[in-house]
Amino acid sequence: MARIVVIGAGTGAMAAAARLAVAGHRVAVFERGATHGGAMRRFARDGFAFDSGPGPALLHLPAVLRDLFVKTGREPLESCVELSQVDPASRHHFADGTAVSLPNASRAGVIEALDGALGDGSGERWSAFVNRAREAWDATRRPLLEEPLWPDWRVLGRDPYPAVRRRGLFGRGKGPTTATLAEVARRELADPRLVALLESHALAYGFDPRAVPASAAVLPYMEQTFGSWYPRGGMRALADALFARCTARKVEFTFGAEVTRIVEKDGRAAGIELADGTLTDADVVIAGVSPGRLAELLRDGLPWGADDVRADPVREARAPGRLTVALALDGPRPQGTAHRTVVHAADRAAELTAVFGDGNSAAPQGPDLRPTVTVLRPDDPTTRPDDAHEAVTLTATVPAPEGPPEASLASPAAAFEALAERMTESAEVAVPGLRERLLWREVLPPAADEPVPGPALAGAGGRYLRPGNRTRIPGLYAVGGGSHPGGGPAHAGMSGAIVAGLIVNGDDWRGSS
């Protein structure tokens, strides 16, 4: 039985902790915050409750968490959390005034809906694109979701999307391809509304469609194929259920415990030191923190070598965040309301430049940013004081907090307040009578150290991969959204599974079959 210390209580960290505790190890988690859950937070006021933080609003790969709960106890996930498929999966309002509702996990239904709203042939064009995305998914599912990062990770730097693949599974010998998601969208979808539909998936994960490789096509493929699922109580309910599973398996949690140093002895990780000077010995240390934060805890900085996928703390700091606006409304949620509505930006180019820069500078541009807004209206009694009220959440991908969108205003708080007002204006198309119903609005800005968590992607020479879960320091592993295979509850859950597999089975473990 090994003594294992876990730094952080996010999804990936808790997933690893639960699996390792079941394997017979003594696991202790140290979290500097007051609670568990990492990016899956909950804001409550006056009987209203809203998901907050940079994490996604819906679950798209429930099988990952189902496997976690099956492997760590007798109760399956659905016995701990009430999951339901949302239908429609999403409603989209485009800049030209057209709108479409897309059914959940129904290829034929999506084709029919797009043809009816956008014109004959639109559905088939989208379906043909999703079929090509499936090839990219099939080629990368195991190495980018189920297995430790390959030692020969550079092969994953070649884009598997079939429209740009050159030769072999990943185009071996031909060098990395350069097609971006935006280029694929323009060439294969043509209709600006279909382009906006595709690019909204990239934006939701903090990716710039102009730069992200074509393999990002797997993002809408995952959603359309595996469905969109909502847990009663919001995404935070998943974190609560995982925390309960950990405590049931005797994982020890200490909150308000900031780790300031990873102790190294005889060339390996040997424990941690807390801010108050307390030392805790360990046989294994698992770091569920960002790569930049991990570097601060180590004597020699980043624990990956020159031949590994290297984290870029500067790029990490410049990554966009997610602005959340909580709206408390008077009056009941109308029957038949879509759970999720995406109101697309009127000016795509201006939005991308404002959020990601113009390609020549990393500094955000455009003080009048009017972003794509996601409007969340769950039919969930736990989100409202009673059925005579409704909780509505608005989210948007915005520039990093270091570069607020209103440079002329006095403070970042004022900048985000102004942006929240514009988001509220955009949301009125999805929520008729919004202004008349509004009781109050709370603006929840993104934290400077919490970029939107995106999954690892193949292509672009490996720039969208995450550092491996193994490190060059024996006994030290990395877990969670900042490491392989990236962010989001499903990917973080697989990160925990991979780390547990490496510890239980040895560093030569290649993943479950």
Instruction: Please write the tens of the pLDDT for every residue from 470-506.
Output: 999 999 999 999 999 999 999 999 999 999 999 999 9
pLDDT range class, residue 408, cuts 50, 70, 90: very low
Establish if 54 belongs to a structural domain: no
Helix (H) or strand (E) holding 123: helix 122-141
* Percent of the chain clearing pLDDT 70 (strictly above): 92
Establish if 238 belongs to a structural domain: yes
- 142 and 103 in a common domain: yes
- 91 and 191 in a common domain: yes
- Other CB atoms closer than 10 Å to residue 293's CB: what's the count? 18
Establish if 56 belongs to a structural domain: no
Choose the final residue of a domain: 189, 204, 227: 227
- 412 and 357 in a common domain: yes
d(CA 242, CA 259): 22
Give yes or no for residue 165 having a pLDDT over 80: no
Establish if 513 belongs to a structural domain: no
Establish if 495 belongs to a structural domain: yes
Mean pLDDT of 445-450: 84
Establish if 53 belongs to a structural domain: no
- 460 and 438 in a common domain: no
20: its two tokens: 């390792």
- 406 and 333 in a common domain: yes
- Which domain covers residue 219, as residue numbers? 87-227
User: Residue 94: what pLDDT?
Assistant: 98
pLDDT range class, residue 74, cuts 50, 70, 90: confident
Establish if 499 belongs to a structural domain: yes
- 187 and 118 in a common domain: yes
Distances from the Cα of 470 to the Cα of 5, 17, 170, 249, angstroms: 15, 16, 24, 25
- 306 and 342 in a common domain: no
- 167 and 96 in a common domain: yes
Q: Which CATH number goes with the domain that contains 244? A: 3.50.50.60
Of 60-64, 129-133, 358-362, the poorest mean pLDDT is in: 358-362
pLDDT in tens, 239-263: 999 999 999 999 999 999 999 999 9
- 168 and 19 in a common domain: no
Higher-confidence position of 114 and 166: 114
Please tell me whether residue 437 adopts helix, strand or coil conformation.
Answer: helix
User: Residue 361: what pLDDT?
Assistant: 52
Mean pLDDT of 205-217: 96
Choose the final residue of a domain: 396, 412, 444: 444
Q: How many domains does the chain have?
A: 3
Give φ, ψ of 496 to 5 degrees.
-65, -40
Establish if 378 belongs to a structural domain: yes
- 432 and 394 in a common domain: yes
Give yes or no for residue 414 having a pLDDT over 90: no
Task: Name the DSSP class of 453.
Answer: P
Give yes or no for residue 380 having a pLDDT over 90: yes
User: Residue 62: what pLDDT?
Assistant: 95
- 123 and 242 in a common domain: no
Choose the final residue of a domain: 227, 251, 277: 227
Give yes or no for residue 363 having a pLDDT over 80: no
